[in-house]
Amino acid sequence: VFHLVDMAGLGKPTNPVETKGLARGRKIAGDADGLLIVLDGSRQAGEDDKRLARRYQGKKALVVLNKNDLPRKLSPEMLRELAGSRPVVEASALKGHNIDELRSRIRAHFGPASLDQEHDLVLHAWQKNALEGVLEALRKARKILQSGRYEEIAAEEIRTALSLLGELTGEVGAGEILDEIFGRFCVGK
């Protein structure tokens, strides 16, 4: 699961609102597990691009060279300077060029298989207990549903699993998800 946050460049703010927005964006980027650094390939690199590359030099990142449907003005030398050792994927968001490759590279670069000794997943005891509770509730729900009876009890088990997931993510929307799952069933008859 990826949580993407779109952040404007690192230009110079012209008012207090922009100043706060840039500070918030920098904090989010600094705390992120990984970054997608999107560069405009149809123009030469500016100071903002260079500042961005320097600011997040030590962060795990994938560089996206956008607008590959337009003539390239970003030189290969400058791209190497900005990207460093980070992988680069060329794409066009507007035309949809190479988007499947971009998705694949994001999964490979930031997905679970990319974790190494330095980035092992660390769970607190309450997170582990919550995940075990999710698994147990889903197993119960599956068993009940396979029996063909007591859909309302299965729904309650799914609600429990969703509530526990909500604790982990900070979001709970069990009602909406259950409405979608059981929208085609007549539960309770």
Average pLDDT over residues 157-167: 86
The mean predicted confidence, pLDDT, of the chain is 80
How confident is the model at residue 179, as a pLDDT?
56
By C-alpha distance, which of 117, 118, 119, 99 is closest to 107?
Answer: 99
Q: Which residue has the higher pLDDT, 130 or 153?
A: 153
What pLDDT is attached to residue 8?
A: 65
pLDDT tens-digit profile of 97-148? 999 999 889 888 887 655 444 444 555 677 778 888 999 999 999 999 999 8
pLDDT in tens, 43-83: 999 888 888 888 888 888 899 999 999 999 999 999 999 99
Tell me how far CA of residue 114 lies from CA of 33, 60, 61, 72, in angstroms: 11, 11, 12, 31
Give me the pLDDT at residue 76, please. 92
Q: What CATH fold (topology level) applies to the domain 16-119? A: Rossmann fold (3.40.50)
pLDDT class for 189, splitting at 50, 70, 90?
Answer: very low
CATH 3.40.50.300 residue ranges in the chain? Answer: 16-119
Measured in whole angstroms, the distance separating CA 158 from the mean position of its chain's CA atoms is: 24
- Give the percent of the chain with pLDDT over 70: 78
pLDDT recorded at residue 119? 45
Q: Is the pLDDT of residue 14 over 60?
A: yes
Based on its alpha-carbon atoms, the radius of gyration of the chain, rounded to whole angstroms, reads 22
The pTM score is: 0.57
